[in-house]
Structure 1
């Protein structure tokens, strides 16, 4: 039997990365599309169940409450049972509750269904992050993650364009049934085709013990990254939740046409997310260099958008704000993903994502109340606070993996130099 060629191992590793990126992109695309559908049907829900904007915001928040609460348990499950298995559980469960949302008969039923849906989706992000870390090298990681997470912005383009006509013809319930079916298809693909982890990438389960969990939660630097994610998510989820209703109710834009308008900032977000991942790899972390100027631009253009007198100005200013904020998504993960030990990636990344989901939980009802009590202008202006929080946390967090390891203690992994020596040996 002939020995494998020297190029065989690098080729196999490259295939592992490509296949992992494609499958995780598809899973995140469905994940994001499933949660975006609710924003498109809020006007229909308000009319059918006689709901004010504050109540509509609570429907969105019910998802984020459960999603936030399940981040850390999801990280524990991923560290204990493996990323592939937990991702499969999540995909099947959230597809089920997406379909059940289409059968909701009251405001209370909607809250229950969205809470259960959020719990099912909540265990997915840390498992997906762990799956990526196990199948990439540190030098590949943020570029690959940028491609994967661009799926969120792609979903923001595709979902309104595909779902708005569906709602117009078949009603709001059909949107949930169709996206649930997509989730089942992606589950099958992940179950059958996700590659095995790279050699030596599977860590022990010490992080999933009570002692390991307590050690993780006591590391203050992770919570500062979580606050940075909170500020980012206030902006993105505040806009995503309320722009469809604003365009319909305040500007008189039909839902199908609103879908086309929403595609413009979403395309900007997709481009910025990929670019942010590449910048993160090039800068070796140093997120302050991206986040401070980007969030300053986002804050200015959010205010211009909020008080724009024309629809064209609203969309143009909003697109610039979304592009600037989306540049920050990959950089805010770059240092923790490079600096965390493999055993703590699941729980550590869950802490950061938890901060983002709290932002998604807070922004929709606060904006709904502001829109009812004052105006949509006040509601959109509120989002500039998210940019301020994110920028402040960028100043208060380590700027590279070595600085992160110095303050993370036992959660810190080996240096990238040591990792590269190990991989080449």
Structure 2
């Protein structure tokens, strides 16, 4: 009599991490928009100066798309995404300190350039991980989850940032959101693995992913 082995569902945990990473990907981007009216008044930034700060992110984000994709292929989505999450969150925290410098606008523009560069691999990594971890018949739902995360972030996290802004100061918006992102990134590196290297995934789940068109061996050395 053959024993039927029930497949694990580790991929569902991976989906939660993809969702949370995307939430804070967009939350970190939104911090400057939330604090801009008060921060610009305090530091004496005119609209042109704020335009420079906002555009710095987009310029670096676009330029780093191809290098970001190369990094994902070279080092794997799990490592690059986790390190990027920690990196852009640290940059977010440092934005709360720009008032300490003699040229805060230059520091802010540099930090926004760094943030754009570091965040560039995020959505390609989402796509790559969905191919690694999910069969074709689940991938539409997976994509909708991490696409929805950006709007959930703007709808839920942004109001929370506004509360922090009005009850503390604009510095703490950067500090709190960045700190949560750093902790999430550390937890990501601890818990997220490639399918073939994950200690809790069984062969039945690997076979299910592969038979459904997924590529659990993608990027494995």
Structure-1 residue corresponding to 2:199: none
Structure-2 residue corresponding to 1:110: 108
Per-residue CA distance 1:130-172 (angstroms, 9 max, x = gap) = 1111101122112111012211111101222211121112211
Determine helix, strand or coil for the equivalent of 1:203. coil
1:202 paired with 2:206, answer: no
The whole-number CA distance in structure 2 between the counterparts of 1:195 and 1:115 is 29
- Candidates 37, 41, 44, aligned match of 1:47: 41
1:119 paired with 2:134, answer: no
1:20 paired with 2:14, answer: yes
Q: How does 1:86-101 map to 2 (within 5 A)?
A: 86-101=80-95
Structure-2 residue corresponding to 1:399: none
Per-residue CA distance 1:382-420 (angstroms, 9 max, x = gap) = xxxxxxxxxxxxxxxxxxxxxxxxxxxxxxxxxxxxxxx
Contact 2:30 2:154 (8 Å CA) reproduced = yes
Structure-1 residue corresponding to 2:4: 5
Q: Offset of 1:204 from its aligned partner?
A: 6.0
The whole-number CA distance in structure 1 between the counterparts of 2:91 and 2:67 is 19
Per-residue CA distance 1:95-154 (angstroms, 9 max, x = gap) = 111111111131111101111111111122222221111101122112111012211111
Contact 1:19 1:195 (8 Å CA) reproduced = no
The whole-number CA distance in structure 1 between the counterparts of 2:66 and 2:51 is 24
Q: How does 1:217-366 map to 2 (within 5 A)?
A: none
Q: TM-score, normalised by structure 1?
A: 0.44
- Candidates 53, 72, 75, aligned match of 1:78: 72
Q: Offset of 1:90 from its aligned partner?
A: 0.3
1:56 paired with 2:54, answer: no
The whole-number CA distance in structure 2 between the counterparts of 1:119 and 1:71 is 8
The whole-number CA distance in structure 1 between the counterparts of 2:219 and 2:192 is 20
Contact 1:71 1:125 (8 Å CA) reproduced = no
Structure-2 residue corresponding to 1:161: 159
Structure-2 residue corresponding to 1:260: none
Structure-1 residue corresponding to 2:200: none
The whole-number CA distance in structure 1 between the counterparts of 2:64 and 2:128 is 16
Q: Offset of 1:196 from its aligned partner?
A: 3.3
Q: Offset of 1:4 from its aligned partner?
A: 5.0
Q: TM-score, normalised by structure 2?
A: 0.82
Q: Which has the higher contact order (CA 8 A, sep 6+)?
A: 2
Per-residue CA distance 1:43-94 (angstroms, 9 max, x = gap) = 1232123223232122111111111111211111111111101111101111
Unaligned runs of 5+ in 2: 196-205
Unaligned runs of 5+ in 1: 206-425
Give the structure with higher Rg (CA). 1
Determine helix, strand or coil for the equivalent of 1:91. helix
Determine helix, strand or coil for the equivalent of 1:80. helix
The whole-number CA distance in structure 1 between the counterparts of 2:89 and 2:219 is 30
Structure-2 residue corresponding to 1:131: 129
Q: Offset of 1:181 from its aligned partner?
A: 1.1
| Equivalenced residues, count | 199
The whole-number CA distance in structure 1 between the counterparts of 2:77 and 2:50 is 34
